[in-house]
Amino acid sequence: MPRRALIFDVGGVLLRVPPHPQQREWEQQFGLADGAIDNALWGGDLSRRATLGQIQPDEVWSQLGQRLGLDAGQVAFVRANYFAEEYLDPAMERLLRSLRSSYRLALLTNAWLGVRPVLTEKFPLSQLVDEIVISAEVGLAKPDPAIYHLTLARLGVAPSVGRTSIMPPSQATGLPASRCPRHGEYYIAGGSSR
């Protein structure tokens, strides 16, 4: 029987961040509008460039400070605390452990350079999967089909659309995919191992 693969997203799926009520307090303290930090960080080209590995995280945070008029201490505070409460979803950890013997597993994340130690040292994700693909390290990002094909190649599994009836095709990639209501997005591909 051909090996199958499951590809999981990381942020909001495996790693969760509880709501940030304190973030609004930071914004008030710094004289910013509601949502200003998130908007500056994720709403423009800054995050996109970091996600593709075109700028280093230090530059992201520096530019964030410039855009919001924050001093170096305020930027350092936001940077140190923004992901401080991130945690590995225990149900997802159990799911990965249960799937490990039946599937080739990969994590595929749109993330900045420098995130690998978080995924392999802070959290035991490298023990749960066969591959971790980080957009900034490969210069590709979801939903570009090339990053999914790269991930499958690293898993040694050829893409095979329509080989499964449990997940509908993803319009963005042409690969079978599903959105799990509780756990976000994951992808499956069946095919021959290489």
Kindly state the tokens that stand for 186. 């994951």
Confidence grade of residue 167 (pLDDT, cut at 50, 70, 90): very low
The mean pLDDT value for 65-89 works out to 94
Neighbours of 182 (CB within 10 A): 8
Q: Does the pLDDT at position 181 exceed 80?
A: no
Q: Which pLDDT value is given to residue 2?
A: 56
Let me know if 58 is exposed, middle or buried by CB neighbors in 10 A (0-12, 13-18, 19+).
Answer: exposed
Q: Which pLDDT value is given to residue 117?
A: 95
Is residue 106 within 8 Å of 151, Cβ to Cβ? yes
User: Residue 49 is inside which H or E element, if any?
Assistant: helix 45-51
Q: Where are the domains of the chain?
A: 4-16+87-190, 21-82
CATH 3.30.450.20 fits 4-16+87-190, yes or no: no
What is the average pLDDT value for the chain, to the nearest integer? Answer: 82
Q: For residue range 85-134, what is the model confidence (pLDDT) as tens digits? A: 999 999 889 989 998 988 899 999 999 999 999 999 999 899 999 999 99
CA distance 27 to 32: 5
Eight-class DSSP state of 125: G
**Residue at 3: amino acid letter:** R
Q: Does the pLDDT at position 165 exceed 70?
A: no
What's phi and psi for 16, nearest 5 deg?
A: -115, 150
User: Residue 42 is inside which H or E element, if any?
Assistant: helix 36-42
Question: pTM of the entire structure?
Answer: 0.82
CA distance 189 to 161: 7
SS3 label, residue 103: strand
CA distance 75 to 30: 10
Q: Does the pLDDT at position 161 exceed 60?
A: no
Q: For residue range 3-27, what is the model confidence (pLDDT) as tens digits? A: 688 888 898 888 988 877 788 999 9
